[in-house]
Amino acid sequence: MILDIYKDSLEYSAKDWKTLVILGVICLFSFLLLPIFLITGYNYRVINTAVHGIINGRDPLPDFDDIIAMFVDGVKVVIVQMLYMLVPFFIFILFAAISNSLNGVLASAIMIIGCLITFALIIVACLMSQMGICHMAYNEGTFSKAFEIKEIREVIDDIGWFNCIITYLGLIIITIVISAVVSGIILAIFTVFGISGSVLGVDSSGIFLLGTLINSLVTMFIVGPYLSIFNSRSIGLLYTMQI
List interacting residues with another protein (CB under 8 A): 31-34, 37, 68-69, 71-73, 75-76, 79, 140-144
Nearer to another protein, 33 or 200 (CB): 33
Nearer to another protein, 3 or 65 (CB): 65
Query: Which residues make Cβ contacts (< 8 Å) with residue 212, sequence separation at least 6?
Result: none
Q: How far is the CB of 30 from another protein (least distance, A)?
A: 11
Cβ-contact 37, 124 below 8 angstroms: no
Q: How far is the CB of 35 from another protein (least distance, A)?
A: 9
**What CA–CA distance (Å, rounded) separates 74 from 224?**
18
Q: How far is the CB of 26 from another protein (least distance, A)?
A: 13
SS3 content of the chain, % helix, strand, coil (to 5): 85, 0, 15
**What CA–CA distance (Å, rounded) separates 77 from 45?**
11
Nearer to another protein, 121 or 136 (CB): 136
State the DSSP code for 59.
P
**What CA–CA distance (Å, rounded) separates 44 from 62?**
10
Q: How far is the CB of 67 from another protein (least distance, A)?
A: 9
Q: Give the count of alpha carbons within 13 A of 178, CB side only.
A: 18
Nearer to another protein, 37 or 230 (CB): 37
Q: How far is the CB of 72 from another protein (least distance, A)?
A: 4
Q: How far is the CB of 228 from another protein (least distance, A)?
A: 20
Cβ-contact 47, 137 below 8 angstroms: yes
Nearer to another protein, 62 or 114 (CB): 62
* Amino acid sitting at position 211: G
Q: How far is the CB of 83 from another protein (least distance, A)?
A: 11
Nearer to another protein, 92 or 138 (CB): 138
Nearer to another protein, 36 or 223 (CB): 36
Q: Which residues of 107-144 are buried (b: 16+ CB within 10 A; e: fewer)?
A: eeebbeebeeebeebbebbebbbbbbbbbbbbeeeeee
What sign for the dihedral angle of Cα 55, 60, 64, 65? negative
